[in-house]
Amino acid sequence: MVKKSANFDYALLGITLALLAVGLVSLYSASAVESFKHSGNSTYYIQKQLLSGVVFGLIGMYVASRIDYHFWQKNLPLLVVISLGLLAATKLTPLGVSAGGASRWLNLGFTTFQPAELAKIVLVFYIAAWIGKKGKAINDFTLGLLPSLIIVALFAGMILWQPDFGTMSVLVGVSFFMLIVGGVNWKYLFWAAVSGFLLTYAIVHFEPYRLKRITAFLNPASDPQGISYHVNQALLAVGSGGLWGYGYGLSRQKHSYLPEVMGDSIFAVTAEELGFIRITAILALFVAFLIRGIALAKKAPDEFGRLTAFGITAWIALQAIINIGAMVKLLPLTGIPLPFFSYGSSAMLINLSAVGVLLNISRQAKT
> pLDDT for 122-146, tens place per residue?
999 999 999 999 888 888 988 889 9
Give the pLDDT score at 1.
Answer: 37
> Is residue 3 predicted with pLDDT exceeding 60?
no
Higher-pLDDT residue of 101, 124:
124
pLDDT digits (tens, 9 = 90+) for 55-71: 999 999 999 999 999 99
Contact yes or no for 151/126 (Cβ under 8 A): yes
How many angstroms separate the CA atoms of 68 and 121, rounded? 16
> Is residue 118 predicted with pLDDT exceeding 90?
yes
Quick one: average pLDDT of 179-191? 91
256-276 per-residue burial string, b: 16 or more CB within 10 A, e: under 16? eebebbbbbbbbbbbbbbbbe
> Is residue 29 predicted with pLDDT exceeding 70?
yes
Give the pLDDT score at 6.
Answer: 56
How many angstroms separate the CA atoms of 54 and 344, rounded? 10
Instruction: Give the CA distances from residue 149 to residues 84, 136, 172, in Å, rounded to whole numbers and listed in that order.
Output: 15, 16, 10
Quick one: average pLDDT of 6-33? 94
pTM listed for this prediction: 0.94
| Alpha carbon 91 to chain centroid, angstroms | 22
184: left (phi over 0), alpha (psi -120 to 50) or beta: beta
Give the pLDDT score at 196.
Answer: 83
Report the range of poorest mean pLDDT among 96-100, 144-148, 311-315: 96-100
Give the pLDDT score at 83.
Answer: 97
**pLDDT band of 5, cuts 50, 70, 90:** low
